[in-house]
Amino acid sequence: MGQGTGGRPLRSLNSIPMDRQKIERISRALSDETRLRIFEAISSCEHMNCGQIVSLRGVTPATVSHHLRILEDAGLIDCRREGQFVYSTANPKSVQEYTRQLSALTRKRKKRE
């Protein structure tokens, strides 16, 4: 598990702790403009398949697949196969925990100043 300041693990009172590596992975995943746009599109509906994302964003299927892999690895989306299609769904719990952890980092900094 990742470490917060003082060697304590990063954690929220009401959720599963998110380690520093996970925070960094999500930050990197969202730092790419195309991935952020793909994540936004998936988050705006129940689920999307690769073809729907390709038609919305004007990128190749291989590029979409690459970005979906990174978003899934970061825990921002869940992917499930149904026949020949893979459907992607946003993972709001991961985003909520990420936001809580960033807020906690900010509060720690303000206390030190």
pLDDT tens digits along 16-70: 568 889 999 999 999 999 999 999 999 999 999 999 999 987 889 999 999 999 9
Residue 73, domain member (yes or no): yes
Total count of domains within the chain: 1
Residue 105, domain member (yes or no): no
**Sheet of strand 48-49, all strands in order from the earlier edge strand to the far edge:** 48-49, 85-90, 77-82
Residue 36, domain member (yes or no): yes
Distance, in Å, from the CA atom of 76 to the CA atom of 9, rounded to the nearest integer, reads: 21
Q: Which structural domain, as residue segments, surrounds residue 36?
A: 19-93
The helix (H) or strand (E) run that includes residue 24 is helix 20-31
Q: Find the distance separating the first CA and the last CA of the chain, reported in whole Å.
A: 27
Distance, in Å, from the CA atom of 26 to the CA atom of 35, rounded to the nearest integer, reads: 11
Residue 8, domain member (yes or no): no
Residue 31, domain member (yes or no): yes
Residue where the block lists tokens 């590029």: 63
The packing angle between helices 20-31 and 92-112, to 10°, is 110
Residue 68, domain member (yes or no): yes
Residue 34, domain member (yes or no): yes
pTM: 0.78
User: CATH number, domain at 33?
Assistant: 1.10.10.10
